[in-house]
Structures are given as C-alpha cells and as structure tokens.
Structure 1
Amino acid sequence: MSQPSRSSSIPAVALDEQALIQECEVKFTRRGGPGGQHRNKVSSAVVLKHRPTGVTAEASERRSQAENRSVAIARLRVELAIHIREEVEEFVAPLVRQYGGSQFRVAIGNEVYPVILADVLNRTLASEGDVAAAAEFWSTTASQVVRFLRQEPQTLSVVNQARQQAGRHRLK
C-alpha cells in the first residue's frame, strides 16, 4: 500500500474514465476465451497499467475490445481502491445519505463502488483494521461493513493483515 506519485489532486480511483486512461499504459493482446472461429485472430484483450502506481488490471473475456476496455477500467479502479491509499472523503461525503445506513449495500458493478471501497479501507486501515470507524462514518454496523468487504476477497485479506499486525483476530 503506497501513495502514488501524481500531480492530480483527484484520487486515481475517482478520475473519470478518460483521465484514468491517460494515466495508464494500454496494451491490446490476444487471449483465450470466447470467440469461436475468431479466437486469437483479433487483439481484443486489454491490459491497463496505471503508470503512477504500477497497479495493473486486464480483461479478455469479451469478444469486443471496447467491452474489455470497460471491464479492465472497472477492475483497475477496484485494484487502486484496494492497494493505493488516497484521500477520497470529499468524493464519498455526498454518497453517505444514498448508500449508508443499516442496509449498507453497494453492488460491485456500481460506478461508485471503488470510491466507497477506498473510503471504507482508508478508515478501517487507519484504525488498525477496526471496522467500527468505517461503520460509524457510513451510519451502519460493523457486520455490514464486513459483509461489504467480503464482496471483494482481496479486501478482507488486506484488512486482516492490518488486524494481525495490531494483534487483533482475523475477520471471516
């Protein structure tokens, strides 16, 4: 977990699609997957490497390069949320009313999911893996935050590393 070396004041996870792509090295390759007789004839797989952070994401399961690009961008945002600590509070403050509360639910496919994930991780990791800080901010319970973190298996691993270093028990 690190801080990126970027000039933009907007966190990478909150950048619009075009600005995020400009910060990335984009590579088109051939991969196995669906496509029938067109398989391995067209470079439809997309690999994105975020230059300031080195975080990568790829998508190759769709036949269309444009669809794979969209999937790769969504995956890159989630990877950035998990591995890069940037302040996102000003971007999530307006979202608390809509997504916070007792039923703290945000679908992985939702465009705001990576920003909310980044905030939950920031708050949880700042308090040595204690999810109570995130729960309080989002007006929900610790168990709802844990359920939210379970949506993306890597996140629970990151939180459990912080908890282990702080001498806390692992979350399941």
Structure 2
Amino acid sequence: MAEAGENRDQWLAMSEDELWRQCRHETCRGSGPGGQKRNKTESAVRVIHLPSGIAAEDDTSRSQHQNRLHALRKLRLEIALQVRRDGPPAVTGPAPGLKAEAFPRWVAAALDALAANGFRLADAAEQLGLSTSRFSKELAKHSAVWQVVNKERERLGLGQLRQ
C-alpha cells in the first residue's frame, strides 16, 4: 500500500469524473424505505476504486445520479481514512466543514500526523498548527474519523479519547 500512499492526495484532489474513471461501478436495487419505485429501479450505486481496492456505496436517494455523487464522496472519505502517507501534512489548520470538498484531504492529513506521532494528540496537533483541544474537537465532528482514531489508539495501548 506504499504506492497508494504516494498517490492518495492526487486521488483526493481529482474531479468526480476522473475519480469515476478509476473505479469499477455497479448499480443494484436499493433497500429500505421508498416504496414500489425503489424496489423496481436500480438506483443504488457501488464504486470500487481499482488502484486502492477501496469500495463505497450509496442508496439513500431514488436518483442514481445523486447516489453516484454520494458514493464518490464516501469513497474519498474512505481513501482518507485508510491510506497513510509519510512526510509532513499536506494540509494544516482547522478542519473545513463536513460537506466541504477539502474535508477528506484534511482527514488524511490529520490521520497522517497522528500516525507519524504514535496517535498522540498533542504532538499531531502541534504539527497541524492546532491546540490539542481544538484538534480533538475537529476529530470528533465525524464519527468514522473518531472511531478510526480510537481504534488505533487502543491497538497501540493508549486510552480512548472522550468526546
């Protein structure tokens, strides 16, 4: 996965069309509420990023186009959560909003800083130019990010962070 780390920032910065072309995509019937229309149409979208092997899917809308956009957003976040890169963080400062295009890049940089510093919050926060408390609050904004951080801290024998 070393090669993936080298390419991760490029993948996160790609346009939706460029990222879509690097994926295998499937459509299927969605599950959950939505009635007869949902059960008859293949509006759910699953994307598998071929270079990294990371997958994401979405079936929240009855629109296949909307589900494609949502699946690509989820894929970007999964790439940020799973692929680490060595070196100084590509992004510093506070996190952008959860829906911002730059959010996955910030998550990737934050997790890189944490991994480089043994998942010690204070050291990673300093590397990103944030106070420890601000960094902790930024990480807590997204449950998947928070879970990854606590899982890694637990694996390293560190205490879990509290919200």
TM-score scaled by length of structure 1: 0.80
| Aligned residue runs from structure 1 range 15-164, under 5 A | 15-86=14-85, 92=91, 96=92, 100=93, 104-164=94-154
Deviations 1:91-122 (A, max 9, x none): 53xxx4xxx2xxx3422111100000000000
Moved more, 153-162 or 136-145: 153-162
Aligned length: 162
Bigger share in helix: 2
* Aligned sequence identity (%): 31
Q: State the secondary structure of the residue aligned to 1:110.
A: coil
TM superposition shift of 1:20 = 1.1
- Structure 1 stretch displaced more, 80-89 or 66-75: 80-89
The Cα RMSD (Å) is: 2.6
Structure 1 segments (4+ residues) deviating >4 Å? 4-10, 87-91
User: Structure 2 length normalisation: TM-score?
Assistant: 0.84
Going from structure 1 to structure 2, the CA distance change for 1:161 and 1:35 (only over 3 Å counts) comes to closer
Q: Which moved more, 1:25-34 or 1:115-124?
A: 25-34
Contact kept, 8 Å, 1:23 with 1:50, in 2: the verdict is yes
The residue that corresponds to 1:169 in the other structure is 159
Q: Which moved more, 1:18-27 or 1:137-146?
A: 137-146
Look up the SS of the partner of 1:129 in the other structure: coil
